[in-house]
Structure 1
Amino acid sequence: MDFEPTERQVYWRNRVRDFIETHVRPNMDTYKAQDAAGDRWKVIQIIEDKKKLAKDAGIWNLFMPPRNDSHHHVDDSFEFEGPGLTNLEYALCAEEMGRLGWASEVFNCSAPDTGNMEVFHRYGTREQKEEWLRPLMNGEIRSAFLMTEPYTASSDATNIETRIERDGDHYVINGRKWWSSGLGDPRCKVAIVMGKTDFSAQRHAQQSMVLMPIDAPGVTILRHLPVFGYDDAPHGHMEVEMKDVRVPVSNMLLGEGRGFEIAQGRLGPGRIHHCMRTIGVAEEALAKMCRRLQEREAFGKPVYKHSVWEERVARARIDIDMTRLLCLKAADMMDKVGNKSAKQEIAMIKVQAPNMALKIIDDAIQAHGGGGVSEDYGLASAYAHQRTLRLADGPDEVHARSIAHMEFAKHAPVPGPTANALRGDHGRVVNETQSFSSGDMGVAR
């Protein structure tokens, strides 16, 4: 087990890090000024300028699966490639991108486009790739992923009610989605919509995914959904209605009833990409906290010399490093044994990373006093984003359930008398089927 990064891992990480420190961080004020000026839902020019630089430098589409990826379904995928980084190599780059909110878009590595591009890469037809994947990879358009619905418990995607019904040479889409991230961007041209093509099929074979142009008749953005008051413009999170939206039959991804298969292929990498960036978010919060604690004095000495802050900073460093190791392990397993075999590690990091970052950001807010809850230091918005990640791509509870089920499967009871059957009071055997009421907690009397 070697914990030293390879020469190739260091090469790509440092290229991303150096670009961010040279071209992104020095332009934070420019970004804020352009973001605040005029219409909220617009193209921000400084991002476009830096995208061109990153693209020309070849630091572009770093998330795209390498050539030996075995998941794509057609042979022409080799035309649609990035530099061929593994998940492990990309993890180190994504951490650097996570330090500053708009950095990932500069490298064409921001959600939901990354997950959508992987869907096109793995499951799309040649025609679908030419129409949508190529402009996405060139950074010319943006995209959305429509899965979550307002009237169902979307933590269980079998609940979705959106209908995708065949009518001759078209599919007709009817339904309502929300938290459709990216729909506010004027460059958003296509959405991947998950709905049901067969309500009578087996539970996980009812769903399909279809491509829907945003400008199709019948698509109506009903409202924008702020996150803790942040509009996240120009990206945005929208509630959208689809009423008799007609798309060609050729817009179906992979085939009817294959929606869950596509979702699992998409969400594995998507979940870990969020977690990779979250490590960078936590590092940035810790750096701000340490600087602030050394700049201020309280009760006759620098704030950092008060023991409570030594404890918090130490805990932050321990938690970041532990979480990074788990994230890198999950990425390495995805590379070596595939997403399905790494599902427990992916679930664990998805629970751990945002909770870890939230604690550190919260301590950093405390260190900044009143300034921490303002937007002067970027900590309040970082907290809002990380809190959202405890829900995005599946809530903590769903991932914890998955982790627990896999753990129970490893440790099934052995045949023979159980511990309860052997344990008694005054020589009597406890009835194993006895109910656990709040009054007696199942103890024999």
Structure 2
Amino acid sequence: MQMDSILSGIVSKKHFFSVPLNYQQPEGEKITVFAREIVSTENQHKDLPYLVYFQGGPGFGAVRPVENSGWIKRALQEFRVILLDQRGTGLSTLLNHVTLSHLSPEAQVEYVSQFRADNIIRDAETIRLQLTNNTQWSILGQSFGGFCVLQYLSAAPDSIKEAYITGGIPSLTRQADDVYQATYKRVIKKNNDFYRRFSDAAKLTGELAEFIENNNVILATGEQLTVEMLQLLGVNLGMEQGPEAVYYLLEQALIDTANGKQINPLFLHQFCQLLDFNTNPIFALMHESIYCQQFHQRGANWSAHRVREQFQQFNYQKGQRLLFTGEMIYPWMFEQFNQLKPLKDLANAVAAKSDWTNLYDVDILMQNTVPVAAAIYSEDMYVDMNYSLETAALVDNLQYWVTSEYEHNGIRIDGEHILDKLISLNRSKSLR
């Protein structure tokens, strides 16, 4: 543990833990997992229970707090909060093409297979035992973090006092193809909403797509921009303030010059900031595996790419309205993004892998006794509401709040209210 840091209304401590890469081989290779412990300044000397936060992703480090606000403010009223950098991210041992370069192709597949939710939860358990002297703690998961919560409830429910989920109740049984068939339909709706809100957006995207097809446009990160890459901006359409960010970027993409229409250098920089495939490669590499389970007896096999063939409207044609895609991963991304190119063979091997272990135990979840409260966003572009409700019906002792007030990242926008609502749901349950 390192010394305290003082933020605005928060005291922060750094913790570094040595954990097995593969928990089936506990004496083998070790990696480091980082966790930041935060507490409000007024509570820093109190013996408070812990709440551990599981970040969305996969492949993103935990939020870096700046001040005592949002969901953190509500949590710090009664908890010490653990912000976990899931293995492979943040200050934990990183996973990228540089750290994998010394391994053979076969060893790389085995290595990255250890970076799923099951081992993230094993890491959390290792940390809990060291920090709490084997007492229960509370857990909160956003998006993929909610998938981690369900895995935790399957694997070690006795370690959890209460659980909270925002925008992240996974299907327990459906395959990746089912997920993407539903997802494409929701992305079409988000596109329709986007073009209805911004009346000149179709004209702007059409002009930009034509310019990209006829010119060699090089992004600030060095890649040649393609129309397929442009469509990836749609990942932002399912976020609060995301459509606005996309529109304002498109609005200034092309500029008039003495030599005619040219690409705006500002666009070339800001485009890269709205996509994070170069900076967070685990997301592209492992995203489809979060939908794979042993009983499916098949790999994801580039599910989003295959299912897209059922939705031909996403294949851009000049003169037609360009449709943005969403949280989909495609094999060509490992040919176009610089930091993904070295991972192309590995990505293909991961896509073909069919011997994934199960992440959820339905029988245990059907007998769950841990109080669980979840926010389900009816307009969520990333996590299908109907599949979330299917799961909620299976998990005992789970209460949910369905709302159309927020997009997928509602916890970033109004986290204090959302977490307070969920805490009230769990606490009212315990009083019955």
Q: TM-score, normalised by structure 2?
A: 0.27
Richer in helix (by share): 1
Of the two, which has the highest radius of gyration? 1
